[in-house]
Structure 1
Amino acid sequence: MFRRLQNWVNRHFQSFFSLLLTCLLVAGSLTLKDNYLVVTKYTPSGIINWEINTTNARRDSILKEWQAGFKKNQIYTSKATYSKTITGIDAVMFQNTVDYIFIGIYVSLLLILIIRIGCQKANPRRRVISQRTILIFGALAILAGLLDVFENLTTYRALLHFKVKEPLPNAWVIGIPAHLKYLLITIVICKLLYESFKLGKPRFWLEYISAWLGRLLTYSWRFRIVLITLLIFFLGLFISGQIQDMLLSINTSRWASFYFLVITTLLALMCWHLPKAIDNSLKISYKSFFMGPTDFDNMRLPAGARPSIKVDTGRLLGAAGFLIPATGILHTMNAYNIDYMLNGISPLVLLMASMIFYKILLRYRWIEKLYKSDTKVIQWRFWLSMVLLIFPIVFWGGISGKQNREPYFLAYLSLDLFFLSAMFMITATLRTSVPAIKKWHIAPWVTFSGLFAMIFFILCNFPSFLNEITSDNRFYTMPIVLCAGAGFLLFFSFLLFAGKKTGVSLITFLLLFTVYRSVSTITNYHEAFIQKQENYHKSLDSLNNYTEQWLISRKPDIEAFVKKHPGTPYPVFFVNAYGGGLRATAWTTMVIGTLDSLLRRNNNMSDFQHYVFSYSGASGGTIGLSLLCSARYQYRQNTSADTVFYPLNSLKIYHNDYLTSNIVAFLGRDMLASSLGIAPWADRARLMEQDWERNTYPHNLDMSVTISKMWKGKNYEVPLLFANTFDVDSGKKGITAPVLLDSLDFPSTIFPEEEIEDPGDLRLSTAAFLSARFPYVSPTAKLNGKHHFTDGGTWDNSGAETSLQVLNVFERVRNKMIKADPVFSYVQPQFLALPNSAQRTEPTGKPKNLFEPLAPPVGILNSRIGYMKKSEDWNYSLSRIKHYGFHLFRPMAEQVPDTRIWPVLPLGWQISDYAMTRMRVSVQGDTSAINKIMACFGISPKR
């Protein structure tokens, strides 16, 4: 019987060894869940230090540290919502439970390695190790596993006793078995390595790894177009918070989920099909590229044989097209703390494990063994599998009502993709043996579907067509972008195919041509849009004079305020809003809108913006401030009717799609115009401005009004807007403002509005987006042939420095006016800073070593963060010295009501309802910040 076991292990060694290694990877990932709570001063190596400890004093110190460390999770499931606190003790107990699986896997691995070595022969007459040795070392491996089990049982008992405050077992009860376990495992591994060296296995392993790396590099280059597509897909899903938030929006629409699955399936099929045409380009015609049939090149193989490595690689690339978004969705669920099965496994590990599992299936022909009898496919098994896999996809998609729009339902969207990957692998493997599928020529379906996706994307580059699709929704951004990915994949694959047939590297020539045209032509493309009107005269007041007139206009108000609130100075606010994409825009308007509503409701007086002198913003914060100014301008005759940005009202504005046109133009019309050195149409920056002008107009906002006109007519109810930008040519800050600024007050600064001659002027939308030029997503803005303006957050993402400079001018003018009228001495400046990222409330683990080559770029990138903090600290320090007010209002770590999920606050130009609701709840729930601001107006604290 033992001999039969040896033969079975020897025959199936490679497949089961690979499978066990994959399982070890998954189990190892589970055992590291919340490991940062376990790694402490007394356990720098995690739970290993606990295992090998033999002193009770150290044991008690370890337990106290584990108990002190904790994190809080808000868990949202289909049946319940609850808050969960996880301590280091809880993390160890979870790891301890998962360790039983880990034990079974590593013991199995050691056993099959021992048996495998026992099957090897040093010469035809003598085996490497005897059967007795196999039994001895097998017993040692099993004994090590049993000691590990005993150690886990004792650990669980100790942790349980500690939690209920009962006497603990002695530390040596765990420590001695642990030492014995590690000793036995070391002996077994040393024996295996020794026998492997005797057989010359290390050389074989190195040769195998070298050959594998060689094939990897060869196929990576040969199928580079597909790999680049998959890599971009992967980076977008796993790194971008914007895409994570978009997935939550997609989940709320059944049709958006359907389109997402359809286009993802098309991309996966193209990743599988196109490498065959590229590899065999010398043998097939141009017609065959589109119509088929296509297969991998089998020039050096026997007649009728197929190149198995290439075939398997193509199928794995197709499977990756499904698995990358499937695990990317799980990564999103982890970011939102949404519970799902196997949430302890890292999605990245799950992706790797799934790919390795599919590789094992293909390498050892497990699919053929399961579905084939001799050379024929067992039809009922195949079709039953297809039905079982597609039924849940159809069933989940057909569920009506609110259930399939809940965040937890993202898990089912992920499962859809896993099931589709399984259907693909089975069908791709058996398709030539199933008569009904063999007759179906897949090539034209794949290529012409890709061609249709390309045409659709081209049509999306026409604003009228795209606006019709994205009207009143923001669900279709990702499907449209995936259509672009499918179109580019088909286009560049065809160029690579044609290049191989002709012997000319068409892609290289195309890239060289585009680079040449880009650097050798000068066009007005990406020029900042300047509104020109006949007989238009731009007249800007100086900041000094504007400040004086503003204070004069507030004199009666100051007198009334001081009379009503003796001892309370009249507050004048200088607001600075941080950058952060649409989340910054939404947060800025929500905070100011909330303060407006509270002040009107509580005091029967003017709203908050009446007391705001200036707004200074960067990037998305500037957009929010410009919206506030626009609403204020529209209601200038009756500012009390301005309720556009009251907390509930503002959500309507952000329901529109402000991202798709920008991304489509970036991948389409802008790329074409820049490559050809032409400027036949508006660039993506102008399209975004037009989107905001169009989508905000129904809400009584006018983003198309010019800067000079907006602040004309001595209307001092609209706070001054200072839009900060950055000139990449000079490295100087730029400020777009509706007043003339003195370079002595704003040193080393460019003033774009002052450089534009009559009859030209900047629209409010253009001025705002000069500040919000998110690098690469938005182009730098040319102006007068001398400047290229990029995002205002490039250097100071807070706008705090400009706010301080404006305050200095304000105080200089006020001090001058106090001499003539002491009523102005009752004015007290107030800083209000609006960062839009939630403060982290829990540790993220110990700082890691910084790899030396990364230090310079990391330092350069972090320098802007340091300058931003420095600017805010300047304002805070000045407020303490001069007795000004200083207020910081940022989002709190709030969950969404009735869900308890924590949506990410994305950095981008699209935002889900969940993220907006989280910010709205945070604004209204931060009573400490609100009370402090309301106290400036003599209003009692909110209970």
Structure 2
Amino acid sequence: MFRRLQYRVNVHFQPIFLLLLISLLVIASMTRKDHYLVVTKYTPSGVIDWELNMSNAHRDSILKEWHAGFKKTQTYTSNAYQPQTVTGIEAVILHNRADYGFIVNYTLILLILIIRLGCQKAHPRKSVISQPIVLILGFVTILAALMDVVVNLGTSRMLHHFRLHKPLPDAWTIGLFAWTKYVLLFIIAVKLLYESFKLGKPRLWLEFTSVWLGGLRFYAWRFRIVLMVLVVFLMGIFSNQVQDLFFSINTSRVASFCFLLSTTLLSLLCWHLPKAIDNARNTSYRRFFMGPLDFSKVRPTARRPSEKVNTARLFGAAGFLIPAIGILQAMTTYHIGYKLSGIPPIIILVAVLAFYTVVLQYRWIDRIFKKDGQVVRARYWFAMGVLTLPLLIWGWGYDRQNHEPYFLAYLSLDLVFLSMMFLITVTLRTTSKAIAKWHAAPIIVFSGVLALLFFILCNSPSFLNNITRNNRFFTMPVVLCAFVSYLLLFSFLQFMGKKVGLSLITFMLVFAVYRSSSTTTVYHEAYIQKEKNYRKSLDSLDSYTEHWLNNRKQDIKDFTASHPGKPYPVFFINTYGGGLRSTVWTTMVISSLDSLLRAGGQKDSSLRDFQHYVFSYSGSSGGTVGLTLLCSARYQHEQQPKNDTAFYPSNSLAIYRNDYFTASMAALLGRDMLASSLGIAPWPDRARLMEMDWERHTAAHHINMRLTIGQVYRNKTYEIPLLFANTFDVDSGKKGIIAPVLMNKLDFPSTIMLEQEIKDPGDLRLSTAAFLSARFPYISPSARLDGRHHFMDGGTWDNSGAETSLEVLTVFERVRSKLMKEDSIFGRIQPQFFSLPNSILATEPIGKPGNLIELLVPPKGLLDSRIGYTKKADGWNYSYAQLKHYGFFQFRPTDDKLSRNTLSPVLPLGWQMSEYAMTKLRLNVSRDSSTIDHVLACFGMTRKKKN
């Protein structure tokens, strides 16, 4: 029986060993979850130091430090702040449970290595190690595994007692067995290495590694177009914007179907096109489109090169698996549990691809589906039916349940099943008469051509607007069609280049770089609206402030008379950048305060809405967009501000349910790339397209973003807060400000005043002003102005807008001091800073930071300096408020979970958000907040607490 086991292990050693290595990788990743909580001053090597410890005092120090080290997930309810913590103790418990699988895995690996070594012959008549030695080493391996199990049981018992505050067992009850385990494993490892050196195995291993790396380099270069597309796709799934898009897809059956369809097409091209590229010199142009295609052979009669064939099949499978893993990454980010949630998604991707490699290398599909060299059709169709049935049931058989977030796991499984169907079909394709009759080449290539044409049409705003009119969930399918288009286009260019002996792609790229760098166009010029005989007629900031204060004089008297002892509050609001989440957060907070004060005004006639008490808005990036929307809505209801309810939390989500992202992405990957490469300006760029999208969608809600800055502030009713949109000039490194007033350079040093640089009859629209501040890097291009400036996102330097807010307050106080000499009523004003960050404040975990690579320190320092300056700018305002006895408020979202489940959406940094993320922000505003309560206290108001 033992010899039979030896024979089987020896014959099937490689696939068994590889499968065990894959399993070891997966289980080992589970033992690394929250590992930084386990690595402390007393356990620099993690759990190993815990196991080898024999001192009770050291044990107590380890446990105390594990208990103190934590990560915190902040959650807020309507009644109290409830932090949820995960300490090092919990992390060790999870690692300990996963370690049982790790023990089984390494034990099996050692056993098959020992058995394999017992089958090796030093010479024809003598084995390397005898059968008794094999049995002894096997026994020692199992004994070491049992010691490891005892260590885990002892650890569980120790931690359980510690958490219950019971007396702890002695440290040696773990350490003794751990030392025994490591000594036994060391003996086994030394013996295996010694015998391997005797057989010359290390040299063979190095040669194998060298050959493998050489093959990897060869195929990576030869099929570089396909590989680059897959790598870009893989990198994208770790962006929280892309993760949030996956949740948008799940809420629409049509979007899910389009996503699966476009993913399938991309995968098929990733499999099909390498054959055309590899055998280009023997393939006609007609066969590129119509087929049949195959890899090049040394001789026409030779067998197909298995390495190339398997590489192409793996490329195709990866096209399905990468978005499948992206969905799991999104679920992990959103804290949605699924069966494999303890394993990092990227490890799942590596493990599945490695498993597919083993399946292809050892021809397991042929063994399962073939008999006597022929495909058993019943087996094939049964497998296809089994894999297709869940796709149909999950897609159409769950009514609205398949719109729920947890159902994303099934969408991910759809892609895995599709990858399995693909792998089985392409493997059996050449040996099955039924499958061979399918002429796949023309279907795949012409489907790719249709995707290319569709993507070209998506670069037409009118066409794309019709598609996305009632649905904002088509971004991923459109981007996938862009990938398909470039994959097909560049593969064809590479195919032509190999036929004619020239690198056409290189020539094209060199020409594009030369042409774009040697031409100057107006393509990315900021849009300036010009009207005949138009004049902005801007007041100076000093003059505007004086008129604003005089306009509020009676209001101040009424307020102070109704609220004895309370100063009249004047707010200076600054909003952080952060894409659409900043826009949503800004409008929700301000409008919520509007609604609360209007409700309070029914009892107190001296109260107006909140924006009546706001002197200025200073925004950066997405925060500026939110402030611009508020100013536009305020303008629409200037005579009757009480009708301005467009951004009440219960209403405002309708504005953000439109698609503001797909047109920009399509233009970025399409029309902008072409125009920039050719140095021409035949159509509006993607920045202008985004402005037009916002103008069109907001107009449906009676918000006019086509208005110019001068028009909005022309009536001088002083009911619209002053808008200061911050941007950044790349050429000079200075801050730029767009404002409806004339500013003095002494008050705003080293600042470019854009409105003062634009001469009549030109002016900036509200949409243009907003997106001069919100030039999200790469999604939007830098904006040229007068050929002397290139403006990019306002968050490049100060992402808070706080510095500008302080500069405005300085002018306000100077003017107020002058007016106080004429009328003491102005002395009853108290300025209030109100800062609106939009990211969740995460508690930094206690633990040792990793070592930084020296080469990364300079760029990291440059990037982090922006964050430091943002914090410093807001910190200045806080310090100034403390010194001058002003008010200072800061209100940011928190990590609330949505009701009815444990879903905790991320707040993506981009221009599109899922319904879950927007709902999370709405709940953050509507819940009981101490910040909102403190702001209301400035007006003598209190809110009813919710039960």
Q: TM-score range by the shorter chain?
A: over 0.9
Deviations 1:390-409 (A, max 9, x none): 11011100134331111100
The residue that corresponds to 2:321 in the other structure is: 323
Cα distance in structure 1, aligned partners of 2:574 and 2:95:
46
Q: 2:728 aligns with which of 717, 726, 729?
A: 726
The residue that corresponds to 1:128 in the other structure is: 128
Q: 1:407 aligns with which of 405, 412, 419?
A: 405
Inter-CA distance 435–302: structure 2 relative to 1 (3 Å threshold)? closer
Cα distance in structure 2, aligned partners of 1:74 and 1:825:
41
Q: How does 1:424-439 map to 2 (within 5 A)?
A: 424-439=422-437
Q: 1:448 aligns with which of 430, 446, 449?
A: 446
Inter-CA distance 302–50: structure 2 relative to 1 (3 Å threshold)? farther
Aligned to 1:718, the other structure's residue is in SS state: coil
Cα distance in structure 1, aligned partners of 2:427 and 2:365:
7
Cα distance in structure 2, aligned partners of 1:602 and 1:56:
63
The residue that corresponds to 2:901 in the other structure is: 899
The residue that corresponds to 2:79 in the other structure is: none
Cα distance in structure 2, aligned partners of 1:573 and 1:152:
60
How far the C-alpha of 1:937 sits from its partner, in A, is 1.1
The residue that corresponds to 1:310 in the other structure is: 308
Contact 2:335 2:902 (C-alpha < 8 Å) held by counterparts: no
Contact 2:451 2:481 (C-alpha < 8 Å) held by counterparts: yes
Contact 1:892 1:926 (C-alpha < 8 Å) held by counterparts: no
How far the C-alpha of 1:155 sits from its partner, in A, is 2.3
The residue that corresponds to 1:378 in the other structure is: 376
The residue that corresponds to 1:100 in the other structure is: 100
Deviations 1:270-297 (A, max 9, x none): 1011001000001010011111000111
Cα distance in structure 2, aligned partners of 1:607 and 1:801:
26
How far the C-alpha of 1:147 sits from its partner, in A, is 1.1
| Structure 1 unaligned residues grouped into runs of 5+ | 76-81
Aligned to 1:122, the other structure's residue is in SS state: strand
The residue that corresponds to 1:705 in the other structure is: 707
The residue that corresponds to 1:264 in the other structure is: 263
Inter-CA distance 636–790: structure 2 relative to 1 (3 Å threshold)? same
How far the C-alpha of 1:43 sits from its partner, in A, is 2.5
Contact 2:74 2:842 (C-alpha < 8 Å) held by counterparts: no
Q: Which amino acid counterpart does residue 350 of structure 2 have in structure 1?
A: M
Inter-CA distance 18–588: structure 2 relative to 1 (3 Å threshold)? same
The residue that corresponds to 1:602 in the other structure is: 600
Cα distance in structure 2, aligned partners of 1:369 and 1:204:
29
Deviations 1:221-240 (A, max 9, x none): 101100110011111112x1
Q: Which amino acid counterpart does residue 318 of structure 1 have in structure 2?
A: G
Q: How does 1:56-75 map to 2 (within 5 A)?
A: 56-71=56-71
Q: Which amino acid counterpart does residue 476 of structure 2 have in structure 1?
A: M
Contact 2:709 2:763 (C-alpha < 8 Å) held by counterparts: yes
Q: How does 1:762-781 map to 2 (within 5 A)?
A: 762-781=764-783
Contact 1:572 1:830 (C-alpha < 8 Å) held by counterparts: yes
How far the C-alpha of 1:33 sits from its partner, in A, is 2.3
How far the C-alpha of 1:676 sits from its partner, in A, is 1.0
Q: Which amino acid counterpart does residue 228 of structure 1 have in structure 2?
A: M
How far the C-alpha of 1:301 sits from its partner, in A, is 4.9
Cα distance in structure 2, aligned partners of 1:74 and 1:440:
56
Cα distance in structure 2, aligned partners of 1:175 and 1:359:
41
Contact 2:69 2:846 (C-alpha < 8 Å) held by counterparts: no
Give the fraction of aligned pairs with identical amino acids, expressed as a percent: 63
Deviations 1:244-265 (A, max 9, x none): 1111111111111111111101
How far the C-alpha of 1:794 sits from its partner, in A, is 0.6
Aligned to 1:930, the other structure's residue is in SS state: helix
Contact 1:74 1:337 (C-alpha < 8 Å) held by counterparts: no
Contact 1:724 1:771 (C-alpha < 8 Å) held by counterparts: yes
The residue that corresponds to 1:794 in the other structure is: 796
Q: Which amino acid counterpart does residue 874 of structure 2 have in structure 1?
A: E
Q: 1:847 aligns with which of 846, 849, 852?
A: 849
Normalising by structure 1, we get a TM-score of 0.97
Cα distance in structure 1, aligned partners of 2:573 and 2:857:
35
Contact 2:69 2:847 (C-alpha < 8 Å) held by counterparts: no
Q: Which amino acid counterpart does residue 34 of structure 2 have in structure 1?
A: D
The residue that corresponds to 1:472 in the other structure is: 470
Q: How does 1:333-352 map to 2 (within 5 A)?
A: 333-352=331-350
Inter-CA distance 665–810: structure 2 relative to 1 (3 Å threshold)? same
Cα distance in structure 2, aligned partners of 1:773 and 1:471:
24
Aligned to 1:541, the other structure's residue is in SS state: coil
Cα distance in structure 1, aligned partners of 2:798 and 2:161:
53
How far the C-alpha of 1:42 sits from its partner, in A, is 2.9
How far the C-alpha of 1:302 sits from its partner, in A, is 7.1
How far the C-alpha of 1:128 sits from its partner, in A, is 1.7
How far the C-alpha of 1:164 sits from its partner, in A, is 3.7
Confirm or deny that 1:590 pairs with 2:588. Answer: yes
The residue that corresponds to 1:245 in the other structure is: 244
Q: Which amino acid counterpart does residue 436 of structure 1 have in structure 2?
A: A
The residue that corresponds to 2:888 in the other structure is: 886
The residue that corresponds to 2:188 in the other structure is: 188
Normalising by structure 2, we get a TM-score of 0.97
How far the C-alpha of 1:590 sits from its partner, in A, is 0.4
The residue that corresponds to 1:35 in the other structure is: 35
Q: Which moved more, 1:876-885 or 1:167-176?
A: 167-176
The residue that corresponds to 2:273 in the other structure is: 274
Cα distance in structure 2, aligned partners of 1:19 and 1:63:
37
Cα distance in structure 1, aligned partners of 2:537 and 2:492:
57
How far the C-alpha of 1:935 sits from its partner, in A, is 1.2
Contact 1:326 1:418 (C-alpha < 8 Å) held by counterparts: yes
The residue that corresponds to 1:615 in the other structure is: 617
Aligned to 2:399, the other structure's residue is in SS state: coil
Aligned to 1:741, the other structure's residue is in SS state: coil
Inter-CA distance 888–169: structure 2 relative to 1 (3 Å threshold)? same
Contact 1:931 1:942 (C-alpha < 8 Å) held by counterparts: no
How far the C-alpha of 1:844 sits from its partner, in A, is 7.2
Contact 2:37 2:846 (C-alpha < 8 Å) held by counterparts: no
Q: How does 1:547-558 map to 2 (within 5 A)?
A: 547-558=545-556
Q: How does 1:799-878 map to 2 (within 5 A)?
A: 799-841=801-843, 843=845, 845-878=847-880
Deviations 1:803-860 (A, max 9, x none): 1111111111110111111110111111000000011136275321111111111111
Q: How does 1:508-587 map to 2 (within 5 A)?
A: 508-587=506-585
Q: Which moved more, 1:888-897 or 1:88-97?
A: 88-97
How far the C-alpha of 1:84 sits from its partner, in A, is 7.3
Q: Which amino acid counterpart does residue 736 of structure 1 have in structure 2?
A: I
How far the C-alpha of 1:367 sits from its partner, in A, is 1.3
Deviations 1:685-705 (A, max 9, x none): 111101000000111100000
The residue that corresponds to 1:79 in the other structure is: none
Q: How does 1:3-82 map to 2 (within 5 A)?
A: 3-71=3-71
Aligned to 1:865, the other structure's residue is in SS state: helix
The residue that corresponds to 2:486 in the other structure is: 488
The residue that corresponds to 1:291 in the other structure is: 290
How far the C-alpha of 1:73 sits from its partner, in A, is 6.4
Confirm or deny that 1:234 pairs with 2:234. Answer: yes
Aligned to 2:493, the other structure's residue is in SS state: helix
Aligned to 2:237, the other structure's residue is in SS state: helix
How far the C-alpha of 1:303 sits from its partner, in A, is 1.6
Cα distance in structure 2, aligned partners of 1:832 and 1:636:
23
Q: Please, what is the CA RMSD of the aligned residues?
A: 1.6
Cα distance in structure 2, aligned partners of 1:255 and 1:385:
26
How far the C-alpha of 1:41 sits from its partner, in A, is 3.4
Cα distance in structure 2, aligned partners of 1:569 and 1:336:
44
Q: 1:387 aligns with which of 379, 385, 390?
A: 385
Q: How does 1:117-196 map to 2 (within 5 A)?
A: 117-196=117-196
Aligned to 2:649, the other structure's residue is in SS state: coil
Inter-CA distance 318–196: structure 2 relative to 1 (3 Å threshold)? same
How far the C-alpha of 1:486 sits from its partner, in A, is 0.4
Confirm or deny that 1:661 pairs with 2:663. Answer: yes
Cα distance in structure 2, aligned partners of 1:790 and 1:844:
36
Q: Which amino acid counterpart does residue 5 of structure 2 have in structure 1?
A: L
Q: Which amino acid counterpart does residue 98 of structure 2 have in structure 1?
A: V
Contact 1:111 1:138 (C-alpha < 8 Å) held by counterparts: yes
Deviations 1:82-136 (A, max 9, x none): 9976443333232222212111110111111112122222223322222222121
Cα distance in structure 1, aligned partners of 2:714 and 2:167:
79
Deviations 1:368-406 (A, max 9, x none): 112212211222221111111111011100134331111
How far the C-alpha of 1:942 sits from its partner, in A, is 5.1
Contact 1:577 1:618 (C-alpha < 8 Å) held by counterparts: yes
